[in-house]
Structure 1
Amino acid sequence: MAGLLTGKVALVTGASGLLGHGIALCFARAGAAVVAHTRRGDVTALVSRITAAGGRAVGLRADLSEEDECHRLVHEAAEWGGRLDAVVNNAGVQPVQDLASLTAARWRAVVDLNLTSAFCCTQAAAAVLPAGGSVTHIASIEGTHPAAGHAHYSASKAALIMHARSAALEYGPRGIRVNTVSPGLVDRPGLADDWPEGVDRWTRSAPLGRLGRPEDVGDACVFLASPMASWVTGNNLVVDGGISARPTW
């Protein structure tokens, strides 16, 4: 991937989290200047790591539950980079709560951050992206495969997939591509200790026999933002080690 995005500028939302951090590093390794967004987290170490390796990066804060903040973030990203070529809508939350006890307020909180923020950032980005620019939403395999306690999360991710297809349709004539990446279970420090039965079940079921890594998702995002994917839009790229290929009966 080295040099694939040289001269490009990419905005990655939610870059203070493990997955967003990994995505941002993949873009930097591909040669892109990276705008690392965070709401309350710290991206200082991420920015320092990129710049120490000879890349360009900056951290920007914004509350993406607010429409104006989404537009401000995109504007400032383009202003810092002198252009904006790619946006990865990664910011999101994944609370667990059963439907019987779920309130409308908690439902809206998940939908607003996971879905509405992507809509707002994409709308803002479409005004500044050049022909050939791209937007990638981080969805989930739970957007097509529900899980107990994840109804609000799964619904928001399913809607992200359809939003990307709709945006691909409407922004395509302007040369802007919109896709989604749907990861499976991505490893994090301590996950095997916190959820040993789930990790064991996954690794035994996945054809590739392992959990995902942040760079697995990041590489998929780099591909979709690159000229290699110049005729790919409205697509949902599943990155799950083959778990979705397992029969459920």
Structure 2
Amino acid sequence: MTAPGLLQGQVALVTGAGGGIGRGIARRFAEEGAAVALHCRTAVRAAGEAADRIRESGGRAVVLRADLTDEDACHRLVSEAAEWGGGRLTALVNNAGVQPVRDLAGMTAAEWRTVVDTNVTSVFACTQAAARLMRGHGGGSITHIASVEARGPAPGHAHYGTSKAAVVQHARAAALEYGPWGVRVNTVSPGLIDRDGLADDWPEGVRRWRRASAVGRLGRPEDVGDACVFLASRLASWVTGHDLVVDGGVSARPTW
């Protein structure tokens, strides 16, 4: 660990930290000095391995489990993270989410609700609980992981894109209402983030993204982590209600 880092002394909770992006965010927070609570629902092994690596490097980490489609579980998770952190929580990253593929014409209301409950309602509940804690301890920062699909639809992702657009709007509303409490709320909207096997699973999509990227590559989990570190740090003390797009310049390319 390098110290002092941008997040030295902070206590952070990263939801969905069993996935690739969540692990990348947790790792970057720890490298910058934060004590990190890694949330997972089922990916216990992956989250545990990430926490082990943080501890082996001299950082502090713990794994906490919760089903974030349950409002009470969201509140318990935030309380457990703060209790582990000595009674305080300074940063929350709402990263947990699902991204199923389903055509809109054949989608059921149950399928729609699953995505909305996981991607939006959990963000509402975790943010509400965290903001209340932060209010009593000098404020803090909350970052939602949205998506470039909040601005541009993709086939089969109507429920996902709609949920991410809602997450962006929630952050703006929360920034307005929680600002007087000393709580900043922002979103990070990643483009295509690489993972093991992605080039084999979706070769044409990877090729198209690389061609469209101004820097000629896919994103890495650490790229999203870097954006989250910035928003949680003192460098972003006057940044709230903002959507930070992290897509390698793809959104700068003309669409006509």
TM-score normalised by the chain length of structure 2: 0.96
How many pairs align? 249
Distance 2:138 2:222 in 1: 27
Q: Which residue of 1 aligns with 2:239?
A: 232
Distance 1:246 1:18 in 2: 27
Q: Which residue of 2 aligns with 1:66?
A: 70
Equivalent residue runs for 1:140-159 within 5 Å: 140-159=147-166
Superposition RMSD on alpha carbons, in Å? 0.9
**Equivalent residues of 1:132, 1:230 under 8 A apart:** no
Q: Which residue of 2 aligns with 1:123?
A: 128
SS in 1 for 2:12: strand
SS in 1 for 2:24: helix
Distance 1:193 1:131 in 2: 47
1:22 CA drift (Å): 0.5
1:182 aligns with 2:189: yes
The amino acid that maps onto 1:25 is R
Per-residue Cα deviation, 1:5-36 (whole angstroms, up to 9, x for no partner): 11110000000001101000000000000000
Q: Which residue of 2 aligns with 1:107?
A: 112
The amino acid that maps onto 2:226 is D
Equivalent residue runs for 1:78-117 within 5 Å: 78-82=82-86, 83-117=88-122
SS in 1 for 2:105: helix
1:4 aligns with 2:40: no
SS in 2 for 1:127: helix
Q: Which blocks of at least 5 consecutive residues in structure 1 are unaligned?
A: none
Which residue of 174, 185, 210 maps to 1:203? 210
1:132 CA drift (Å): 4.0
The amino acid that maps onto 1:125 is A
Per-residue Cα deviation, 1:87-136 (whole angstroms, up to 9, x for no partner): 00000000000011100000000000000000000000011113340000
The amino acid that maps onto 2:146 is A
Per-residue Cα deviation, 1:175-224 (whole angstroms, up to 9, x for no partner): 10000000000000111111111111110111111000000000000000
The amino acid that maps onto 2:216 is G
Distance 2:54 2:204 in 1: 36
Q: Which runs of 4+ in 1 moved over 2 A?
A: none
Per-residue Cα deviation, 1:28-56 (whole angstroms, up to 9, x for no partner): 00000000000011221111100000000
TM-score normalised by the chain length of structure 1: 0.99
1:50 aligns with 2:78: no
Identity of aligned residues (%): 70
The amino acid that maps onto 2:218 is L
